[in-house]
Amino acid sequence: MLRKRYFLFIFLLLSGTALSDLDKPVSDGPYVFESENQREAISICSDKKLSKVIDYHTAQQVEQCKQSVVLQSKTPSKKNLLNYQGNFQVAAVSDIHGQFDLFIELLRNNKIIDENNEWSFANGHFVITGDIFDRGEKVTETLWFIYQLEQQARKAGGQVHLLLGNHEVMVLNGDLRYLNPKYVKVGKLLDKPFETLFSPNSVLGAWLRSLPVLVKVNHVLFAHGGFHPDLVEQKLSLSRINQVFTENLVKTELEKPRSELANYLHTTNGPIWYRGYFYKNGANEADIDSLLQHFGVQHIVVGHTSQKRIETRYDGKVIAIDASMKLGQYGEVLLIQKGQLFRGTLQGVKVPLIPTKTPIISPRK
């Protein structure tokens, strides 16, 4: 036993996790599961499992262990509308990785939400280019917050576009390598493989399965990783890319193995993994121009490859918005107002985004 604990300690030390992380009591949830007539909400409250059955038709509000959630009245259908145009402001954030408090601070200071964490962005469109999951310890809080913000935005005439990142797809597929130790413990306490907390019969699982992998808003194209020049060569449209990607989301739920195209879209050069805008031998200027022309956009906005702040590449044609919120110290939001680009800092200062002429080569992360 002592030997086992010693090895566990060494393992945790090497993986950068303190043993105390697993020992401290955790609270998490709710995870809401639907059957034909009812919903069951389960939570962990200071290491204890709570369970409650909710009437499907009457109760929209779930409150468990101080977390209160307003549920949508029906399971969301797949978002097939991928192109939005109009006279509204646009904001975009990426790679939150469970840093809920920092995310809230950033959105409040930039007036996307108010003091009560409710939508205050009027008819604006707020894009989140994926990676809510993994690393940090407030993933569930972040998911429920965005889930509810989406409903508030719609009521106000605005929109929240949450896009899938590689960490969403990893967790849904049971690849739990980057899970915060808290969630490893949650899985154990609930006696369930962690990914089944997001199975298709769960409210959050069904919602995640309804999300797209890309969106185009006022001639700006958003995705987590980016678009490989191959896609132009293959003459693929945005709706085709999104359709093949989302129809092949969770391997164990597919009737037949992923096709060649589905495999391509779910691996290195696909929209959630691609990093070719940031490294030598990646996309060149001509590739970027043909991508912009093919998809009918002026900019491509991506997360996934971390920067210190929001930056541009290829003379502003590519905008990198992962400002390393995952480190828990700082974050930025991209703001687009009347065609002008700004960095919204954590403190809420609006700084014009100056296009960089030459691509900067960043270290791989």
Name the residue nearer to Zn ion (CB basis): 185 or 228.
228
Closest CB 135 distance from Zn ion, rounded Å: 10
Paired tokens of 238: 């945005």
Residue nearest to Zn ion (CB): 304
The gap between the terminal CA atoms of the chain, to the nearest Å, is 37
Q: Does residue 64 bind Zn ion (CB under 5 A)?
A: no
Name the residue nearer to Zn ion (CB basis): 41 or 319.
319
Q: Which member of 28, 34, 131, 137 binds Zn ion (CB under 5 A)?
A: 131
Closest CB 272 distance from Zn ion, rounded Å: 7
Closest CB 121 distance from Zn ion, rounded Å: 25
Q: Which member of 166, 248, 307, 324 binds Zn ion (CB under 5 A)?
A: 166
Whole-number Å distance between alpha carbons of 365 and 167: 14
Burial category of 241 from C-beta neighbours within 10 Å (exposed 0-12, middle 13-18, buried 19 and up):
buried
Nearest-Å Rg of the Cα atoms of the chain is 21
Contact 55, 38 (CB under 8 A): yes
Name the residue nearer to Zn ion (CB basis): 272 or 335.
272
Closest CB 167 distance from Zn ion, rounded Å: 6
Paired tokens of 180: 């915060």
Q: Does residue 94 bind Zn ion (CB under 5 A)?
A: no
Number of C-alpha atoms within 13 angstroms, CB side, residue 281? 0
* Helices and strands in the chain, H and E counts: 11, 17
Contact 175, 272 (CB under 8 A): no
Q: At 80, is the secondary structure helix, strand, or coil?
A: coil
Closest CB 15 distance from Zn ion, rounded Å: 19
Stretch that binds Zn ion, among 140-148, 186-194, 252-260, 303-311 (CB under 5 A): 303-311
Name the residue nearer to Zn ion (CB basis): 185 or 304.
304
Name the residue nearer to Zn ion (CB basis): 182 or 304.
304
Contact 32, 71 (CB under 8 A): yes
Whole-number Å distance between alpha carbons of 152 and 175: 32
Q: Which member of 228, 304, 313, 326 binds Zn ion (CB under 5 A)?
A: 304
Strands 90-93 and 125-128: parallel
Closest CB 300 distance from Zn ion, rounded Å: 16
Closest CB 162 distance from Zn ion, rounded Å: 14
Stretch that binds Zn ion, among 152-160, 162-170, 226-234, 348-356 (CB under 5 A): 162-170
Stretch that binds Zn ion, among 41-49, 60-68, 103-111, 129-137 (CB under 5 A): 129-137
Helix 100-109 crosses helix 139-155 at what angle (to 10 degrees)? 30
Stretch that binds Zn ion, among 56-64, 140-148, 296-304, 348-356 (CB under 5 A): 296-304
Phi, psi (deg, nearest 5) at residue 240: -65, -45
Closest CB 130 distance from Zn ion, rounded Å: 7
Whole-number Å distance between alpha carbons of 160 and 124: 9
Q: At 113, is the secondary structure helix, strand, or coil?
A: strand
Contact 308, 319 (CB under 8 A): no
Closest CB 131 distance from Zn ion, rounded Å: 5
Q: Does residue 135 bind Zn ion (CB under 5 A)?
A: no
What is the DSSP-derived secondary structure letter of residue 218?
T
Q: Does residue 322 bind Zn ion (CB under 5 A)?
A: no
Q: Does residue 299 bind Zn ion (CB under 5 A)?
A: no
Closest of 105, 164, 110, 108 to residue 138, by C-alpha: 105
Name the residue nearer to Zn ion (CB basis): 100 or 121.
100
Name the residue nearer to Zn ion (CB basis): 167 or 185.
167
Name the residue nearer to Zn ion (CB basis): 131 or 137.
131
Name the residue nearer to Zn ion (CB basis): 34 or 168.
168
Give the residues lining the site for Zn ion (CB under 5 A): 131, 165-166, 304
